[in-house]
Structure 1
Amino acid sequence: MIPAIVLAGSRPGPDPLLTGRGISTKALLPIAGHAMLVHVVRALRASPLVGPITILAQSSAELAAEPELAGFADVHFADSGQGISSSLAAALPAGDDPLLVTTADHVLLTPTMVAEFLTGAADSDVAVAMVERAVLLARYPESKRTWLKFRGGWWSGANMFYLRGRRVMPLLDFWGRIERDRKKGLKIVAAFGPWLLSGALLRLFTIQQGVARAGLRFGLKARIVPMSEAEACIDADKPSDIELIERIFAARRQAAIGQPL
């Protein structure tokens, strides 16, 4: 089984999702009757592929006090560093053991998604889950995402990452310098060099080819794992996301009890 990290910290500045809610951190924002973080931990704990779960946040004690998290086995809490990259660097296992990373706002996560991602990532050093635009829009045309445009498709991140031990440290150090631009697709691409930026702008290669070449810069085997479920890239970033996620959860509940949608 693979250990998992859930990034549950808060970004600098006010979060419009929390305005007037009386909640200090996004991870505890209720969706479909449960805190975001509870949905994520529940999905991970239900996966036979996932081992111990560590929740990272600036003030992890606040999350540890959430009553619904008390019933899960092998769940731990730790205070994070100043950024995602430094927090992950501190949490990496020794040697080449792999680590699964996801986020507290990935509330639609399921064990099936976890299995699909880990199967696709198994022989890589670094892997990133992504959803192609046609997959998302076929189900949820109203959903607005940030897209990376390459030959053969437009892609959006699905908040799952596979890191193989300490060998990924140079990549995390690099990410620490650019993570503030994580929502600006072209800035992220450009940070890897002019060859990747020009190739993306001119659609000279697929995203799989681009990520593989970017990984080689750090001596890593890197890959994209295309996710087959549109819900894999719908996270809770803005009010419209919350509304859509609530509808998806309602549909899941109806399907589970055999009622027509």
Structure 2
Amino acid sequence: MSEASWTAILLAGQRPGIDPLAHALGESRKAKVKVGGEAMLSRVAKTLLAAPAIGRVVVMAQTPEFLFDGDCAWMAEEPRIGTVHSDSGIATSVAAVAGTAAAPWPVLVTTADHPLLTVPMIEAMIAGAGDADVAVGVVGRRTLLAAYPDNRRTWLKFAGEAWSGANLFALQSDRAQVALKLWSEVERDRKKAIKLISHFGPWLAVRAITRTITLDAAMLAVGRKFGMTARPVALPFAEAGIDVDKVSDHELAEAILAAREVH
């Protein structure tokens, strides 16, 4: 894959109603919450643009034009940043633009609430994706809890390890549209592991529930079932598994960024 060949879709929308984190920290939009003295959206966008593989960033939100003020004002003038409007679902919104002129393949999807994202994480994700149609970034429980034992995550338990998402997805061909359709079907169950797994068929669900299949094997099986290649990318960075959804996450992210500044 050539340098600067990837399009990054940066999800910066908001679910209906008042976002608890934004409300607690005095912001109207979650993406504008400051971490380490800078809006999360601005911080993640700068990290993406600093990655050699990323040629363009597309900010996706219900009203992206209202995000580019304050810390994010620079983004309105940055030629490598574009915007698209999202609809009611994340997966359907991504599916509508992935592989089009607005966001040509290959596409890396991440979120504005991932302020701990680093260029090495992006590079590891892209390298780990290889030639897969779809790759999903994950962090193992042992990796994350060894560094942050008090952190609470949603874990998907498989043979050998439990995994949490890293808010990084690599989509590389039209076959990824199948995965996006599947994602839209399970989106409402993303925090309910058994319900989510049940969408992939009874055999795989039983293997996953009984933890007699690894995540790698499960994703290989899902890919075969739906006519694509799919794989997890186990990232060695504990911070890749920490997004900022609640005040305790925000406090931890602030502490991590402060420590980075020292070093």
TM range (shorter): over 0.9
Deviation at 1:69, TM superposition (A): 2.6
Deviation at 1:67, TM superposition (A): 1.8
Deviation at 1:197, TM superposition (A): 1.5
Partner residue in 2 for 1:258:
none
Partner residue in 1 for 2:65:
61
Taking the TM superposition and a 5 Å limit, the aligned residue runs for 1:176-195 are 176-195=184-203
Please list the CA deviations of residues 145-182 of structure 1 after superposition, one character each: whole Å capped at 9, or x if unmatched.
Answer: 00000001000000000112322222222221220111
Please list the CA deviations of residues 224-251 of structure 1 after superposition, one character each: whole Å capped at 9, or x if unmatched.
Answer: 0000010001000111100100000000
Distance of 1:60 and 1:94 partners within structure 2: 19
Deviation at 1:25, TM superposition (A): 1.1
**Range with greater deviation from structure 2 (232-241 or 87-96):** 87-96
Partner residue in 1 for 2:209:
201
Distance of 1:72 and 1:241 partners within structure 2: 29
**Range with greater deviation from structure 2 (6-15 or 46-55):** 6-15
Residue of 46, 52, 55 corresponding to 2:50: 46
Residue of 129, 135, 152 corresponding to 1:127: 135
Partner residue in 2 for 1:229:
237
Distance of 1:228 and 1:129 partners within structure 2: 10
Distance of 1:71 and 1:12 partners within structure 2: 29
Percent of paired sites with the same residue = 45
Partner residue in 1 for 2:14:
10
Taking the TM superposition and a 5 Å limit, the aligned residue runs for 1:33-112 are 33-65=37-69, 66-70=72-76, 72-94=78-100, 97-112=105-120
Partner residue in 2 for 1:143:
151
Deviation at 1:97, TM superposition (A): 2.6
**Range with greater deviation from structure 2 (166-175 or 31-40):** 166-175
Q: Is the 8 A contact 1:126 1:221 kept in 2?
A: yes
Q: Count matched residues.
A: 255
RMSD: 1.6
Deviation at 1:64, TM superposition (A): 2.7
Q: Is the 8 A contact 1:94 1:166 kept in 2?
A: no
Distance of 2:25 and 2:249 partners within structure 1: 17
Q: Letter of the aligned partner of 1:38 in structure 2?
A: S
Distance of 1:20 and 1:159 partners within structure 2: 23
Partner residue in 2 for 1:167:
175
**Secondary structure of 1:97's aligned partner:** coil
**Range with greater deviation from structure 2 (193-202 or 86-95):** 86-95
Q: Letter of the aligned partner of 1:54 in structure 2?
A: V
Q: Is the 8 A contact 1:64 1:77 kept in 2?
A: no
Structure 2 segments unaligned to the other structure (5+ residues): none
**Secondary structure of 2:66's aligned partner:** helix
Q: Is the 8 A contact 1:158 1:232 kept in 2?
A: yes
**Range with greater deviation from structure 2 (124-133 or 66-75):** 66-75
Residue of 232, 252, 255 corresponding to 2:260: 252
Partner residue in 1 for 2:160:
152
Q: Is the 8 A contact 2:7 2:105 kept in 1?
A: no
TM-score for the superposition, normalised by structure 2 = 0.93
